[in-house]
Amino acid sequence: MSRGHNFSAGPAALPETVLRQAQAELLEWGGSAASVMEVSHRGKEFMAMAAQAEADLRELLAIPANYKVLFLQGGATQQFAQIPMNLARPDQRVDYVVTGDWGEKAVREAGSLAQVHVAANSAGNRHTAIPPRAEWDLDPASAYVHYTPNETIRGVEFFDIPDVGDVPLIADMSSTILSRPIDVSRFGLIYAGAQKNIGPSGIVVVIVREDLLQRCPKSLPKIFSFAEHAAQDSLLNTPNTFGWYLAGLIFKWLKAEGGLAAMELRNRRKAETLYACIDESGFYANPVEKSARSWMNVPFTLPRPELDELFLQESKAAGLLALKGHKLVGGMRASIYNAVTQQSVDALVEFMRDFARRRG
Amino acid sequence: MSRGHNFSAGPAALPETVLRQAQAELLEWGGSAASVMEVSHRGKEFMAMAAQAEADLRELLAIPANYKVLFLQGGATQQFAQIPMNLARPDQRVDYVVTGDWGEKAVREAGSLAQVHVAANSAGNRHTAIPPRAEWDLDPASAYVHYTPNETIRGVEFFDIPDVGDVPLIADMSSTILSRPIDVSRFGLIYAGAQKNIGPSGIVVVIVREDLLQRCPKSLPKIFSFAEHAAQDSLLNTPNTFGWYLAGLIFKWLKAEGGLAAMELRNRRKAETLYACIDESGFYANPVEKSARSWMNVPFTLPRPELDELFLQESKAAGLLALKGHKLVGGMRASIYNAVTQQSVDALVEFMRDFARRRG
């Protein structure tokens, strides 16, 4: 047995050096004489680690001082509800730009909590392109504009931050955060489930502009209130301590690897390698408009669906893991997050070329 | 360095054999060629593990077939809100029996979600005894009765399940679940944050009688609905996969150790050892009425507060960890959950006797 090339969409590949460190100190963490899983979240060892993780994330993303960073539970899906609960009144309009299945889910979960308006939706072209900004039906009085910079299932990504004026822009960055530098100051709130580029599942990072915390209703149960979590440095209740710890190791790894500028170069090259293989093959196909092709999630189809099972069997035998596409779209998908190396992408491309030669 | 005797209230000690197994397979889990943290929660390896964990928990607690078992996020604190959201209408009375600080928090979080009525409260005696059942002011029309079988901070525990008639009984068992056999059929819903007797933090187990799921409002965001989570086997969104895995290892360990009957014998003996030391010392004191003394959390005070810091320093030097009492009550607290061995309790008692001799 040895570790495969892991293209899972999430929970996804983690850097092997991070896993090795976690393994080495799993029974005795730092000077605590216990596992990091066995110490109080209110003890000074854990709190120092947690604060360092936040500081490293702030440095990586150049998060301005007027933003709070929260480490919460419930994943991005819970944020679909928590965001309108905190930032909109039930009678207030909120605008959603939908470019895929996660955007659709965000709309559904918010449905009973605010007056949800779909300002644009790429469903008409099966989410293969991004609706032009000029066609978005936004209202300057809306509580916020929500969008999904990268759609994990169909592999559609924004490469510019849309200008929505003074209305706070909210982004579900679950599958793109930390893949390259971004200008956080353009956003009212950014959130991201950890299980792609941050760490293991069970933790979600929320980056929120401080002035928006004034909107959080006092009547909310504290556990749902961004303002309460911010006031207590995400220690309102027991957090996912192991997830926070592992995220902290990932942030240190990212810094050691050269930060997000280095990630951008790597991720661009990995994506270019894979899309070039698809486009040049005359065998594989990706339906997304080139300007909106995701760097993180690359879905592709084979020319005949009966080849799918064979492709999956042979790729797995070659140590290429988790290439099956999402059930909503079928085909294949390679997720190539930060922890997936160029070497893994090269191995995939080599296999794909060989498979096409043999089955084309 | 070596592992200490860990008396943390939670996140708490885990069995060393479980940690060693997790460590050994941290980079390659089963036949997956990846860490358990790196595989899809919808893949067959993970789903088989998750189903086995549930089956083992069902066997350990003898959970009847008409109960659903959910593995969720957000801890017991989120359940303080989710329970009224799911099981009561906003205009409906819900009864709370308060025997400590966690019960108080449950009342506060439910406050805006239903008509909360405190049916009994031991605050008058500083939560050192359980109000007699005959004095509880219950309403047969209430949506449920909520109580906290074990209060972690002040160490007050119920040793009988209260009879509340046909009203569903709801129990926050975070710090007592799996410490001994219980009759699940007496409850409408049991919930427990994992970080004491189940596993690492970041996961909460909910055991709910199926008929109660009909109460879950269709208007709830799915992520908050017990009915939706039950219908999707807790895979409505990405769960805390590592936490679920580790809980599964704990359940296997419990079975191998003889199940909950064996735990009951061990836990009774550990508690008796520690309370006997306190009572016989003429130095340490525990204020809780003997019939309500917790088997899991043993708070105690020293005769002079100026000894506290010395006790903490010396005990830590002796490898006895996390004995500082909760800030609300001060003094000391030893949490002696399933993973804390008799040997650790014996080491603590030996230290306490020696300290009393030297400082008495």
CATH code: domain of residue A36 = 3.40.640.10
- Token representation of residue B335: 């949490």
Please tell me the distance in Å from A226's CA to the nearest CA on chain B: 14
Q: Is the CB of residue B97 less than 8 Å from the CB of residue B103?
A: yes
- Whether A91 is a known active-site residue: answer no
Using CB atoms within 10 A of its CB, is residue B23 exposed (0-12), middle (13-18) or buried (19+)?
middle
What's the pLDDT tens digit per position in B161-215? 999 999 999 999 999 999 999 999 999 999 999 999 999 999 999 999 999 999 9
Residue B332 belongs to a domain with what CATH number?
Answer: 3.90.1150.10
Candidate from B33, B81, B242 with C-beta closest to A202: B242
Cβ density class A36-74: b for 16+ within 10 Å, e for less: bbbbbbebeebeebbeebbebbbebbebeeebbbbbbbb
Question: Are B243 and B198 contained in the same domain?
Answer: yes
For residue B335, give the nearest of B174, B213, B153, B194 by alpha carbon: B153
* Residues of B involved in catalysis: 102, 172, 196
Is A244 known to sit in a ligand binding site? Answer: no
State how far residue B309 is from chain A, nearest Cα, in angstroms.
15
- Please indicate, yes or no, if residue B11 is contained in any of the structural domains: no
User: Are A188 and A311 within one domain?
Assistant: no
**Residue at B276 is within a domain:** yes
Distance of alpha carbon A82 from alpha carbon A76, whole angstroms:
9
Claim to verify: residue B171 and residue B302 sit in the same structural domain = no
> B293 with B161, same domain?
no
Q: Which of B256, B284, B309 is the last residue of a domain?
A: B256
Q: Choose one of B205, B222, B256: the last residue of a domain.
A: B256
Inter-chain contact B322–A236, Cβ cutoff 8 Å? no
* Cα B36 to Cα B102: distance, rounded to the nearest angstrom: 33
Nearest C-alpha neighbor of A118 from the set A149, A93, A85: A93
Q: Indicate whether B125 and B58 sit together in one domain.
A: yes
A137 shares a domain with A26: yes
Beta bridge partners of residue B171, listed in sequence order? B147, B190
Q: Do B34 and A4 touch (CB under 8 A)?
A: yes
Rounded to whole angstroms, the Cα distance separating A231 from A235 reads 9
Inter-chain contact B1–A35, Cβ cutoff 8 Å? no
Judging contacts by C-beta atoms under 8 Å, the chain A residues touching residue B109 are: 221-223
Specify the number of domains making up chain B.
2
- Give strand pairing partners of A356: none
Indicate whether A22 and A166 sit together in one domain. Answer: yes
Phi, psi dihedrals of residue A316, rounded to the nearest 5°? -60, -45
- A246 to chain B: which residues are within 8 Å by CB? 37
Q: Which positions in chain B touch A335 (Cβ < 8 Å)?
A: none
Q: Supply B207's token pair.
A: 């055991």
Same domain, yes or no, for A250 and A263? Answer: no
Tokens at residue B8, please?
Answer: 């943390």
Distance from CA of A134 to the nearest CA of B (A): 31
Q: Are residues B42 and B191 in the same domain?
A: yes
B340-358 pLDDT per residue, tens: 999 999 999 999 999 999 9
* Encoded tokens for A256: 């050691």
Structural domain of B48: 16-256
**What's the rounded Cα separation, in Å, for the pair B156 and B297?**
8
- 3-state class of B174 per DSSP? coil
> Cβ contact (<8 Å) for A37 and B201?
yes
Q: Each residue of A242-280: b (16+ CB within 10 Å) or e?
A: bbbbbbbbbbbbbeeeebbeebeebbeebbeebbebbee
Place of tokens 């593995």: B71
- Per-residue confidence of chain A (360 residues) as pLDDT tens digits? 599 999 999 999 999 999 999 999 999 999 999 999 999 999 999 999 999 999 999 999 999 999 999 999 999 999 999 999 999 999 999 999 999 999 999 999 999 999 999 999 999 999 999 999 999 999 999 999 999 999 999 999 999 999 999 999 999 999 999 999 999 999 999 999 999 999 999 999 999 999 999 999 999 999 999 999 999 999 999 999 999 999 999 999 999 999 999 999 999 999 999 999 999 999 999 999 999 999 999 999 999 999 999 999 999 999 999 999 999 999 999 999 999 999 999 999 999 999 999 998
- Asked if A74 and A151 sit in the same domain, the reply is yes
A91–chain B nearest CA distance, Å: 16
Does one domain contain both B85 and B49?
yes
Residue to substitute from A7, A40, A315, interface B, most B β-carbons within 10 A: A40
Residues 6 or more apart from A295 whose CB is under 8 A from it? A150, A157, A176, A179, A180, A267, A268, A270, A271, A336
Q: Judge: A11–B40 Cβ closer than 8 Å, yes or no.
A: yes
Residue B199 located in a structural domain: yes
Residues A243 and A284 in one domain: no
The answer, yes or no, to whether the previous bond of B84 is cis (omega within 30 of 0) is no
B322 backbone φψ class: left, alpha, beta (φ>0; ψ -120 to 50): left
- The residue from B209, B229, B256 where one domain ends is B256
